[in-house]
Chain A
Amino acid sequence: MSVPRFWRRLKNLYNLIGTRCEKCNEYYYPPRNMCPKCRRSGLMVPFKFKGFGEVLTYTVMHSSTKDYAKQTPYILAIIKLDEGPNLTSQVICSHKDIHIGMRVKSTFRRLGEESERGMIYYGTKFVPLINPSKEF
């Protein structure tokens, strides 16, 4: 990822800021400029997701790109956020513990780096809730 590309997406990566259509009340992540349901009559506004959701499905990655080689085996999951949209993200937990329906919350982690001398990219991953009754 180039520095300008990361910088342009920084707010969305750090804080799960997507969009919501005020006409049909549908939520989108990553953000969309136009509501695919309401088309031109939709009214999209920025929306910050709370960061809670559940695992819809997952896979354990044993073979990865060079950037993630040290982290194998790691878990890549499709997470359904409580507000509705699904997104793909790494879930930080043991592959023995991960399961469909697991409650997860967003966490702030390193996503990668350009090189040892280059920029470090930060953003959102997910972890199991410590205490689901308290939502943390």
Chain B
Amino acid sequence: MNVGIVSYGAYIPCYRIKIEEIAKVWGDNASSIIDGLMIYEKSVPDMDEDTITIAVEAARNAINRGGVNPERIEAVFTGSESHPYAVKPTSTVVAEAIGATPNLTAADFEFACKAGTAAVQACIGLAESGMIDLGLAIGSDVSQGAPGDALEYTAAAGGVAFIIGKEKTVAKIESTYSFTTDTPDFWRREGMPYPEHGGRFTGEPGYFKHVTSAASGLMDRMGTKPSDYKYAIFHQPNGKFPVRAAKMLGFSTEQIKPGLVVSRLGNTYSGSCMMGLAATLDIARPGDRIFVTAFGSGAGSDAFSIRVTDRIDEIRNGAPSVEELLANPIYINYATYAKHKGKIKL
């Protein structure tokens, strides 16, 4: 492949709620939940933030980091499962807000937690074929978890944007491979405010089957092995799943450590795996190879093999790193969290 990541940007709201605070409200044992999920706190959007505002901030950070002329962006795709409108694209607002309109195509993607990487693959195809100069692929979510449901401990907010193109790349995308089946492990019906899930069913037939199949499929196709990569990122719905998936595939804890931000952030759904990649690019050196596998319920996995170029050092400091976005959080209590998330209906 002759395409790669030209620039990237992330955005995380400044508010956090601790697991203990949620557990206190529902009478759950906080330490047992923390041990089970390996998540200590999660991000919470402000009252005037949503998937669109987060996508715009991430996209602007990507444009500023790479010094990209937004008029060169000829495709904007936003992946999310919490688009503010059922009909009216998130991507048109993003395109207008970054100054990319009107000469471009735009569409919204939905595939649970992997809609963002599906958007990356669409941009790869369009850029590789020469149909577009640059493509902007975003994963952004203000994910929902019903009050008292297990998801409430992890459903967080954040977004990541990747600009895909052929020239001046900070990371070459060597190859991508996907594994998809009809697996009803998680869903949200039209008009329903909160998703439903299959509990433990989301693990083996959902996450692990798809992540390991996509990852193995890509390595088989490329003839690579885990030791060929400096870093690896697996979708992080909690802190345990990606560690176990890495172990099953033969990756070490050290390889996944830089991208494992879920314990301080929660699950940012469409932004989750992409946030891990952004955090890894923040510290990667030229020549490093990175293995990425996203997962979306429903279900499917997208795997990518990436090689970092010399240009990473030139643009790295042009926008906030994931660590800078995670720093200095403002902690809120459950009542404020409920107000921010619109759980209180007046």
Contacts and interface: CB of A to CB of B under 8 A. Distances in A.
Partners in one complex: yes
A109 to B, nearest CB: 4
B302 interface: no
Given A70-B339, A131-B324, A136-B320, A15 B97 contact: yes
Interface string A108-133: 11110000000010100100001100
Nearest to A17: B99
Given A11-B96, A70-B339, A122-B97, A109 B49 contact: yes
A15 B320 CA distance: 20
Interface in B157-205: none
Interface residues of A, number: 21
Given A71-B48, A94-B330, A14 B97 contact: yes
Contacts of B25: none
A110 B330 contact: no
B252 interface: no
Interface string B31-62: 00000000000000011111011001100110
A55 B74 CA distance: 37
B64 interface: yes
Contact of B96 (A14, A70, A110): A14
A122 B93 contact: yes
Interface centre among B47, B319, B320, B330 (most CB of A within 10 A): B47
B299 to A, nearest CB: 31
Contacts of B53: 107-110, 122
Contacts of A130: 320, 324-325, 328
Contacts of A131: 320, 324
A78 interface: no
Interface in B47-102: 47-50, 52-53, 56-57, 60-61, 64, 84-85, 93, 96-97, 99
Contacts of B52: 108, 120, 122
Contacts, number: 52
A108 B159 CA distance: 14
B2 interface: no
Contact of B47 (A48, A70, A108): A70
Contacts of A125: 48
Contact of A108 (B60, B99, B328, B330): B60
B129 interface: no
B49 A110 contact: yes
A92 interface: yes
Contacts of B61: 136
A48 B48 CA distance: 24
A92 B56 contact: no
A10 interface: yes
Contacts of B49: 109-110
B96 A10 contact: yes
A134 B317 contact: yes
A134 to B, nearest CB: 7
A131 B319 CA distance: 10
Contacts of A109: 46, 48-49, 53
A78 B253 CA distance: 50
B57 A108 contact: yes
Interface string B113-130: 000000000000000000
Contacts of B48: 71, 92, 109-111, 125
A104 to B, nearest CB: 14
Interface string B303-346: 00000000000000101100011001010000000010000000
A14 B57 CA distance: 12
A71 B319 CA distance: 29
Nearest to A136: B320
Given A14-B96, A130-B325, 12 more contacts: A14-B97, A48-B99, A70-B339, A92-B46, A92-B48, A107-B57, A109-B53, A110-B49, A122-B53, A130-B320, A136-B64, A136-B320
Interface of A: 10-11, 14-15, 48, 70-71, 92, 94, 107-111, 120, 122, 125, 130-131, 134, 136
